Structure 1
């Protein structure tokens, strides 16, 4: 009896060992096939070595050599303006660079994310040629209730009192600037912020002519901002202006024509030593 039990145990152990051996062979063959398939995929996809971030980089932080590294990137989806070995991000002849926005690990380093050599993460780095920074006072109503972010675009409306064709002054709201780009909310120029902020001032990038118009408008009335869509390319050709009558749908009455002056004619008649003027019908 014991002999039979021993034989059964030996057969069971042998079958278990054979099953483990077969499983190991199967898993090993699968891993080898998977590794070979991956290598073929990598070899068949053209790549280019570009600089990517190796760890999180905060807004305004100076970028150092240990913060970035070269990594393969598929050429088919290569971002425009990337830094490569031929166009390095840092080097002996390149001054310090700082991050113009928060950068996550393994992001491709682009000129829009970093400053020029020796630059800083101030407002001047956000201004294009011919642009100036201008601050507009806002509140919870005129500032779109805290939903504004740097890099958003807004329309600017002016509300004030103007002379309505010589019939007294009336309040008018008019669109004075379209598609103005925001570069800072209060003292924050980081476009990656996610918290809503009730701003007291917003800073816009505008041409010198726009700055002059905004300065005059802010000193003579109230400015209100209207947030527009990211992909909105609408061109406003006709002036947008509303007063109280047009808002209520009341037609403006034409000014009454001045009454024609009645022409009078007269003749002079001498009566003794006195000359008297007598009205007569006009013949012309």
Structure 2
């Protein structure tokens, strides 16, 4: 009887130990799953629906509800100028389309700077900010940076011409930077930034203030204009630059020859009969 009791006791202890181990394992798995769930909740980022391109869009293409769609976008990373509501993109009472100003790839956010106002065409006027004017500059392969210019680039404008007079009637030819950092808004008749290949332009159109337009017009009529491309991330402001032939060759300014002062001659007049004679004498003063 005692042997049976001992056996039952041993079996009970074994079952109790197994139950404890199973409970401990279950609790551990539960705690692990709970920790993963909590970690996943921490990684959830608030999102907002934003309009994006449903297909690649190029300059001049019409933008309608058919070629855009809404996607979830991280709330703290929404590009500035993005459209969140269709009423903002296509306001009621206005034409239900815009025109693409800058090329967009599929799934790229539609931003105000990349499209025109509702119903507006993608002409030069849509690229001009308030107070700015469009002015065309004649260029060629030499003065137009060998065809590497694109709308949206910035250039420094240099004028080469003759000014004033030097010795012996020769005119002084100089090269001077007259306008730094002017923005290009069109190359020939193209205002799109997605130009393929190299274009040897005959004219470039710049956005300038009225006083800058007057300066450029005067410079274009009195000399030759050349353009220098400014780097995309260059925010420096160039100072006034002027170079003439003497500065180019490192020559000193030509000085006017100093005239040799003539020697003073002092004389007295005396009469010898009917003749008046001048006799040299030392100058006392």
Do the aligned partners of residues 265 and 99 (structure 1) sit closer, same or farther apart at CA in structure 2, a change above 3 Å counting? farther
Do the aligned partners of residues 258 and 134 (structure 1) sit closer, same or farther apart at CA in structure 2, a change above 3 Å counting? farther
Question: Which residue in 2 is equivalent to 1:194?
Answer: 196
More divergent stretch after superposition (158-167 vs 101-110): 158-167
- Say if 2:155 is the partner of 1:149: no
- Aligned partners of 2:128, 2:266: CA distance in 1, in Å? 74
More divergent stretch after superposition (167-176 vs 251-260): 251-260
TM-score normalised by length of structure 2 = 0.74
Do the aligned partners of residues 259 and 103 (structure 1) sit closer, same or farther apart at CA in structure 2, a change above 3 Å counting? same
Do the aligned partners of residues 48 and 253 (structure 1) sit closer, same or farther apart at CA in structure 2, a change above 3 Å counting? same
Query: Any idea what SS the aligned residue of 1:181 has?
Result: strand
Question: Which residue in 1 is equivalent to 2:76?
Answer: 76
Question: Does the aligned pair in 1 maintain the 2:152–2:193 contact within 8 Å?
Answer: yes
- Say if 2:54 is the partner of 1:54: yes
Question: Which residue in 1 is equivalent to 2:131?
Answer: 130
- Aligned partners of 1:119, 1:41: CA distance in 2, in Å? 45
Q: 2:174 aligns with which of 172, 175, 186?
A: 172
Do the aligned partners of residues 257 and 194 (structure 1) sit closer, same or farther apart at CA in structure 2, a change above 3 Å counting? same
- Aligned partners of 1:97, 1:244: CA distance in 2, in Å? 53
Question: Does the aligned pair in 1 maintain the 2:166–2:172 contact within 8 Å?
Answer: no
More divergent stretch after superposition (49-58 vs 254-263): 254-263
Query: Any idea what SS the aligned residue of 2:80 has?
Result: coil
- Aligned partners of 2:41, 2:190: CA distance in 1, in Å? 44
Question: Does the aligned pair in 1 maintain the 2:136–2:206 contact within 8 Å?
Answer: yes
What's the C-alpha RMSD, in Å, of the aligned pairs? Answer: 3.2
- Aligned partners of 2:41, 2:147: CA distance in 1, in Å? 48
- Aligned partners of 2:257, 2:160: CA distance in 1, in Å? 28
Do the aligned partners of residues 83 and 261 (structure 1) sit closer, same or farther apart at CA in structure 2, a change above 3 Å counting? farther
- Aligned partners of 2:243, 2:41: CA distance in 1, in Å? 63
- Aligned partners of 1:42, 1:169: CA distance in 2, in Å? 77
> Structure 1: 5+ residue runs without aligned partners?
1-32, 270-277
> Structure 2: 5+ residue runs without aligned partners?
1-32, 271-278
Q: Deviations over 1:230-265 (max 9, x none)?
A: 11122233x211111111111113334677799999
Q: Which structure has the bigger radius of gyration?
A: 2
Question: Which residue in 2 is equivalent to 1:250?
Answer: 251
Please give the residue correspondences for 1:1-284 in structure 2 after superposition, counting only pairs within 5 Å: 40=40, 44-85=44-85, 88-95=88-95, 96-164=97-165, 168-237=170-239, 239-256=240-257
- Aligned partners of 1:140, 1:280: CA distance in 2, in Å? 75
How many residues matched?
Answer: 247
Distance apart, 1:60 and its partner CA = 1.4
- Aligned partners of 2:42, 2:104: CA distance in 1, in Å? 26
Q: Deviations over 1:247-284 (max 9, x none)?
A: 11111133346777999999999xxxxxxxx9999998
